Amino acid sequence: MAESYNICLDIGGTKTLGAVFDSAGNIVYRLKKKTKSAGGSSQNVEELIISVVEELIAKSGIPKKSLHAIAAGAPGVINQESGIVLFSPNLPWRNYDIVTPISKKFGVPFYIGNDVNVGVLGEHQYGAAQGCDYVVGLFIGTGMGGGLILDGKLYTGRDYKGAEIGHMVVNPDGPLCGCGQRGCLEALSSKKGMAAYVREQIARGRESLLDLEPEGGTFRSKSLKKALRAHDVVAMEAVDRSCHYLAIATGSLINIFSPDVVVFGGGIMESMGDIFLEKIAASVGRYCMPSIGTTVQLKKAALGDDSILYGALSMIP
């Protein structure tokens, strides 16, 4: 029997990752491209996906007829059954059917889901949460995303709007979040939240070595590492504050779901996970019932940048 292949994508607001998987679930070729979505159209993103898939086929050398399916994770509220992207914060999609044109173009099924949901699914099937029926996932990057595995299945809630853990309010008097609420976990613990805190302190006359991007941007993880190594007090405070609220949120999630494991992923955890995990683990016990917390493991995501790619693979029947 001829070998068959799947192509999986991680579509982000700034970059798109792609990989070709063989039938044994091994990555045989991978690709990274910048995502130019600002001011673009749905068709432009559609064209990007098509170009990435075509490039993966061409450069990996797989025969087109051996392609079995394509799957992707993307930011936003996505109906996994229909493939309709209801809303995406960083991509120009509103009630957009992305599945039909991609399936038609390549003649194979196309599956798509929310990126963090898909990433947690990847960790459940192939990574840190293998064999666990109850999983809470927190992905910490520029923003903050969450995902849930309940009774061994991905939980997405009504209309696929569930598991917005980044928008749990952990301090009602906290900073304004991009969603319109105050004191969301994302506004306090993500890269955006940490950068906002450092800016606020600099405006008060304090100094920091953290190299902040302009116009409300964030920072590179290596800049944060450098600042921490130099014992930058403001940067240290930003990290401590982030971990404090992550511990509060984690404790509440443990009390609600009694998971087997809480998996922490995303860019921050990939680059600085040991520092963050140590701080969260040291204080999470204050925010959950001991009888529940003692049965829960806290883990870093095992797949790194590939969590969403492997999650997309696990969506393919």
| Lowest mean pLDDT across 209-223, 231-245, 301-315 | 209-223
Tell the residue number behind the tokens 């996994």, with chain if given.
80
Decide if 24 is inside a domain: yes
99 shares its domain with 193? no
The string of pLDDT tens digits covering residues 128-175 is 999 999 999 999 988 999 999 999 999 999 989 999 999 999 999 999
- Domain co-membership, 92 together with 146: no
Burial 288-313 (b: 16+ CB within 10 A, else e): beeeebeebebbbbbbeebbbbbbbb
Q: In terms of residue numbers, what domain contains 216?
A: 131-301
Question: Strand pairing of 135-140 and 144-150?
Answer: antiparallel
0.75 exceeded by pTM: yes
307: confidence class by pLDDT, cuts 50, 70, 90: very high
Using the structure block, give the residue that is written with the tokens 């993880």.
221
Q: Which residue has the higher pLDDT, 301 or 214?
A: 301
- Residues 6 or more apart from 209 whose CB is under 8 A from it? 226, 227, 230, 232, 235
Give the count of domains, the chain. 2
Q: In this structure, are 284 and 141 located in the same domain?
A: yes
Q: Is 62 found in the same domain as 114?
A: yes
Residue 228 and residue 279 in one domain: yes
| Predicted pLDDT of residue 124 | 98
Q: Residue 61 belongs to a domain with what CATH number?
A: 3.30.420.40
For residue 34, the model assigns a pLDDT of 81
Q: What is the pLDDT of residues 2-58, one digit of tens each?
A: 789 999 999 887 788 999 999 999 999 999 988 764 445 566 778 888 999 999 999
Q: Quick check: helix, strand or coil at residue 203?
A: helix
Share of the chain above pLDDT 90, in %: 78
Does residue 125 form part of some domain?
A: no
Same domain, 22 and 155: no
CA distances to 21, 22, 63, 146, 153 from 2, in Å: 14, 11, 10, 38, 31
Kindly indicate the confidence band of residue 205, based on its pLDDT and cuts at 50, 70 and 90: very high
pLDDT at 103 (0 to 100): 95
Q: 263 and 223 in one domain?
A: yes
Q: Answer yes or no: is pLDDT of 280 > 70.
A: yes
